[in-house]
């Protein structure tokens, strides 16, 4: 069902209705129906009208505006080692900084294969605990930013030497290199720490630029996920300049909140050729309109699948203030997450899940994937080959891909091999 809001009063500042003025739509809004009720029937209308409209809607009602690209960026090679991983790869440690700004630099860890076809396709992934946790090489500096004490080897929210290589088992660098891919990663805390204030990161810079101080919180304007997406895009700015990297084959990857970010960054930046949001759940690849059975509180007071009311209470800094106005009426949202997936069209997307992670709503994510299909079919880009959720451990590697395994909420080396298999299909790589 589509609902026109053409006759409604619009907010003076944004030109968009206040949330309480939006109509209730129990089902997913039609991805090919404009806000004014008009239908999108051509690729030209999609690219010229509906795609820009959806980006505006997501920024206004949910994520906030992704910060703009700075006028000048500086890239500095801190380390280049062509004999990394016993000579299989080249290690590069790149610092990305905004020229003439107080915004902290992003430390990008990049590993490229020495053998195989050049330039190499690349996975760009954001990590939780710092680059030093991905590999134990002592040249990788300990992150200086605030980190969660949930990160192994972190004390008082800062990394110690015990954190080196703490997550290496979940980042199979050598196996990825052996498959012909480069891999790049950076810590989300380099961009903005996950603690709900504006005392550091990109928001400090923005506040100074806009207000001359940091006393005016930017929470009304945007949340951490939009800021982290900005970080993804700045890393892409570097990758497209590196001769070892195929700038036409960059894949964004992320787990959980980092998966939400990977999808948002890729949806808004067409330089990213493929997206793999892994167990991204509510606010990412899980629907805001959670099925009634999954949204009902259990004996512990929590629903089976996370809802926007729950996520906005637990992590209020991830999204903007407007999104919280939909806590009790998500049906008023003029979009759902299938529209974010549709912004990837015609590029490939893989939604990856685990059976033991019902909080991320695997079945709802499959519904999101299928609801994005009309945009892909409009662009003659295919869709999802599965008519229903596939069996456990079976990869659906169509343009709109899906995968679910046994296990819990985590990103493992086995997951990475599935990611590589999916990329092989769409990047024209031959499986070794």
Angle value at C-alpha 266, between 15 and 254, nearest 5 degrees: 120
The single residue of 38, 95, 409, 410 carrying the catalytic annotation is 409
Q: Does residue 184 contact residue 110 with C-beta atoms inside 8 Å?
A: yes
Q: Is the peptide bond before 233 cis (omega within 30 degrees of 0)?
A: no
Q: Which residue has the tokens 């996975």?
A: 123
363: enclosing H helix or E strand: helix 362-371
Q: Which residue has the tokens 């003076």?
A: 12
**Residue 354 to residue 139: CA distance in whole angstroms:** 35
Extended strands (E) in 58-169: 73-84, 89-98, 106-113, 120-127, 154-155, 158-159
Looking at the DSSP bridge assignments, the partners of residue 91 are 81, 111
What is the Cα 239 distance to its own chain's centre? 17
Check if 256 is active-site: yes
Residue 178: helix, strand or coil by DSSP?
helix
Count how many residues are written for the chain.
432
Cα–Cα distances (Å) from 68 to 72, 226, 253, 355, in that order, read 12, 11, 22, 38
**Residue 288 to residue 115: CA distance in whole angstroms:** 44
Angle value at C-alpha 236, between 226 and 429, nearest 5 degrees: 120
247: enclosing H helix or E strand: strand 245-255
Cα–Cα distances (Å) from 362 to 51, 58, 214, 284, 331, in that order, read 26, 22, 40, 12, 20
253: enclosing H helix or E strand: strand 245-255
Check if 4 is active-site: no
426: enclosing H helix or E strand: helix 413-427
Q: Residue 117 CB: number of other CB atoms within 10 A?
A: 11
**Residue 298 to residue 310: CA distance in whole angstroms:** 13
Q: Dihedral of CA 162/102/127/217: which sign?
A: positive
Q: Does residue 355 contact residue 370 with C-beta atoms inside 8 Å?
A: no
The single residue of 101, 193, 256, 352 carrying the catalytic annotation is 256
**Relative orientation angle of helices 224-239 and 202-211, to the nearest 10 degrees:** 100
Active site residues: 256, 409
């Amino acid at each position: 069902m589509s609902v026109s809001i053409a006759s409604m009063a619009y907010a003076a500042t944004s030109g968009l209705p206040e949330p309480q003025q939006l109509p209730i739509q129990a089902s997913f809004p039609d991805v090919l129906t404009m806000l004014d009720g008009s239908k999108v029937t051509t690729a030209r209308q999609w690219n010229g009208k509906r795609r820009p409209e959806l980006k505006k809607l997501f920024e206004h009602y949910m994520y906030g505006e992704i910060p703009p690209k700075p006028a000048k960026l500086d890239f500095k090679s801190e380390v280049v080692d062509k004999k990394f991983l016993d000579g299989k790869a080249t290690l590069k440690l790149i610092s990305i900084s905004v020229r003439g700004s107080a915004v902290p630099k992003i430390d990008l860890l990049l590993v490229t294969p020495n053998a195989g076809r050049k330039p190499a396709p690349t996975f760009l992934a954001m990590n939780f605990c710092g680059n030093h946790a991905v590999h134990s090489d002592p040249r990788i500096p300990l992150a200086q930013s605030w980190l969660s004490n949930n990160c192994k080897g972190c004390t008082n929210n800062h990394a110690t030497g015990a954190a080196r290589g703490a997550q290496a088992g979940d980042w199979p660098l050598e196996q990825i290199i052996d498959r012909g891919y480069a891999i790049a990663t950076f810590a989300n805390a380099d961009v903005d720490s996950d603690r709900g204030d504006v005392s550091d990161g990109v928001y400090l810079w923005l506040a100074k630029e806009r207000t001359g101080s940091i006393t005016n919180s930017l929470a009304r304007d945007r949340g951490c996920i939009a800021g982290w997406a900005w970080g993804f895009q700045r890393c892409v700015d570097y990758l497209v300049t590196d001769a070892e990297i195929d700038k036409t084959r960059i894949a964004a990857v992320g787990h959980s909140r980092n998966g939400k970010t990977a999808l948002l960054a890729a949806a808004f930046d067409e330089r990213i050729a493929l997206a793999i949001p892994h167990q991204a759940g509510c606010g990412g690849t899980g629907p805001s309109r959670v099925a009634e059975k999954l949204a009902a509180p259990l004996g512990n007071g929590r629903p089976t699948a996370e809802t926007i009311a729950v996520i906005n209470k637990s992590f209020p800094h991830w999204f903007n203030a407007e999104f919280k106005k939909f806590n009790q009426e998500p049906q008023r949202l003029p979009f759902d997450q299938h529209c974010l997936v549709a912004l990837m069209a015609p590029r490939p997307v893989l939604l990856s899940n685990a059976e033991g992670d019902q909080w991320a709503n695997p079945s709802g994510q499959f519904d999101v994937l299928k609801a994005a299909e009309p945009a892909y079919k409009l662009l003659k880009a295919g869709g999802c080959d599965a008519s229903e959720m596939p069996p456990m451990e079976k990869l659906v590697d169509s343009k709109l891909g899906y995968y679910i395994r046994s296990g819990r909420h985590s990103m493992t080396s086995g997951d990475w091999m599935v990611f590589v298999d999916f990329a092989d299909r769409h990047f024209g790589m031959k499986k070794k």
